[in-house]
Amino acid sequence: MATDLRASASLVLAGCIAEGTTLVDRIYHIDRGYERIEDKLRALGANIERVKGE
């Protein structure tokens, strides 16, 4: 969980280089600040997907 836009983006980027699976929840900050971030990171080679929370 991140508390602001930059922290949320940092968690996503850290997850991209971490081993295993990383889940970042409460990403409404990212949605507010970055348009189609998953598509942009995929274009750079990231294995990333958006999943629905419970």
Q: Kindly report the pTM of this predicted structure.
A: 0.78
**What confidence tens digit (pLDDT) does each residue in 6-54 have?**
988 999 999 999 999 998 888 888 989 999 999 999 999 999 998 887 6
Q: Which two tokens stand for residue 40?
A: 């942009």
At 46, the amino acid letter reads A
Task: List the chain domain ranges.
Answer: 5-43
C-alpha to C-alpha distance for 31 and 34, rounded to whole angstroms: 6
Residue 36 is classified by DSSP as: T
* pLDDT on residue 3: 80
